Amino acid sequence: MTSEAWDPVAFKARVDEVLHRFVAVEADALTAVDASLAPVAGQLESAVASGKRLRAAFCYWGWRGGGQPDSDALVRAAASMELVHAAAVVHDDLIDDSPLRHGRPTAHRALRAAVPHHPRAAGAARSLAMLVGDLLMSLAGQLFVTSGLPAAYLGRARPLWAALARELIAGECLEILHTGTAPDTAASLKVIRYKTAKYTVEQPLLIGGALAGASPRLGEGYSAYGLPLGEAFQLRDDLLGLFGDPERTGKATGDDLRGHRPTALLAETWRVADVDQRARLSVLLRAGGSDAGGSGGARGTDGAGDGAEEVRALMRGLKAPERVERMITARVEEALRALDELDLPPAAVTALGSLAHSASTRSS
């Protein structure tokens, strides 16, 4: 990637190199404490083994949009956004008891093999995964402050780090508090905004901008672009979670149903359903998306039960996926309008337009 052109493949390779080297050193330091920590260290490395690196890209272009040139130190700082994401994923999978991520067992499932003789092996593995997530968040801060950027630049972004952590935790807590309650679109969108949208797009952009010394007006523009785009990103994720191809998403289809999570897709289904449809949907949700007839449930090739297929059919019949698609389109259009109003270098406009497409039209 040159200093001007946007090559997402080359950028991803730069971020991957930073992450893999940094985490490998930390994993070695962990196993140096005791060899029995090897499975935990392995989960640190697994957490950063793959990813689209969108959060790092938004941080990078927040910096470039502020008029700063390409910088290896900035790429290191931007890569720390991916460690925040890795921590959030480990914790989120633990909270949701998700079995798969990127086609591999999630940390709390994989770590069961590390405690075969523990009297409460599943609980012990969950505890280990929680600690992996905590360490990843700590390492995010360490990578950021040791990125090589001047201390004065880092100081400008420090308040935003506090906001990022607070809002991410607030969103996760809101999802837990709303799980199992009557589906509500406004509540679901608030969960989306705080659990995902802010730390995926808005906060990385703002942090990159703050590092660059961007004006408050540019920060407002970044938020106007980043918030709706972040919401579109998660709305797409919700659709993929139930209607996506598990071979491409790397996740078990129907996780959101099994966990009765407050997604906008479920809320929109509930909003237009009649009394009988709501009653049936309630039965299926209580059954966790498995067969609601009590026979144990036939399992599909995607790991979901017959109940999940019935929910999908109900959602299709009520055109809930189409309404969520319209919500995605409206938010992307809002983000692009905000981008058009920003006074950014041409390379930043091109890159942020491309990233808007990547975030909202993906299939995995």
Number of domains in the chain: 1
pLDDT band at 289 (very low <50, low <70, confident <90, very high): low
- With tokens 């523990």, the residue in question is 118
62, 164 contact by CB (below 8 A): no
Using one digit for the tens of pLDDT, what is the confidence trace for 63-96? 999 999 999 999 999 999 999 999 999 999 999 8
What pLDDT was estimated at residue 238? 92
pLDDT band at 364 (very low <50, low <70, confident <90, very high): confident
With a cut of 90, say whether residue 291 has pLDDT above it: no
Domain that holds residue 333: 8-360
pLDDT band at 287 (very low <50, low <70, confident <90, very high): confident
What pLDDT was estimated at residue 306? 74
What pLDDT was estimated at residue 305? 60
- The first and second tokens of residue 204, run together, are 């990385």
- DSSP-H helix ranges across 273-305: 275-286
What's the mean pLDDT in 199-225? 98
With a cut of 70, say whether residue 101 has pLDDT above it: yes
Does a structural domain hold residue 1? Answer: no
Does a structural domain hold residue 192? Answer: yes
With a cut of 90, say whether residue 241 has pLDDT above it: no
φ, ψ for residue 149, nearest 5 deg: -75, 150
With a cut of 80, say whether residue 254 has pLDDT above it: no
Q: Which range in 124-138, 248-262, 306-320 is most confidently predicted, on average pLDDT? A: 124-138
What pLDDT was estimated at residue 66? 96
What's the mean pLDDT in 334-359? 96
What's the mean pLDDT in 13-41? 98
Using one digit for the tens of pLDDT, what is the confidence trace for 110-131? 999 999 999 999 999 999 999 9
Nearest to 107 by CA among 118, 96, 116: 96
What pLDDT was estimated at residue 47? 97
Cα(148)–Cα(151) distance, integer angstroms = 9
What pLDDT was estimated at residue 4? 67
Comparing 54-68, 124-138, 238-252, 342-356, the range with the smallest average pLDDT is: 238-252
Does a structural domain hold residue 30? Answer: yes
Q: Of all residues in the chain, what percent carry a pLDDT higher than 90?
A: 82
pLDDT band at 330 (very low <50, low <70, confident <90, very high): very high
Nearest to 235 by CA among 204, 265, 205: 265
Mean pLDDT for all residues in the chain: 92
Does a structural domain hold residue 3? Answer: no
Does a structural domain hold residue 49? Answer: yes
- The first and second tokens of residue 128, run together, are 């280990």
**HEC assignment per residue over 78-141:** HHHHHHHHHHHHHHHHHHHCCCEECCEECHHHHHHHHCCCCCCHHHHHHHHHHHHHHHHHHHHH
Task: Find the CATH number of the domain harbouring 97.
Answer: 1.10.600.10
Does a structural domain hold residue 2? Answer: no
pTM for this predicted structure: 0.92
What pLDDT was estimated at residue 80? 98
What pLDDT was estimated at residue 319? 97
What's the mean pLDDT in 99-105? 88
Comparing 88-102, 168-182, 299-313, the range with the smallest average pLDDT is: 299-313
What pLDDT was estimated at residue 255? 75
Using CA atoms, how far residue 75 sits from 47, 64, 89, 115, in Å, is 19, 11, 21, 37
Does a structural domain hold residue 210? Answer: yes
- The first and second tokens of residue 115, run together, are 């405690």
Cα(254)–Cα(303) distance, integer angstroms = 8
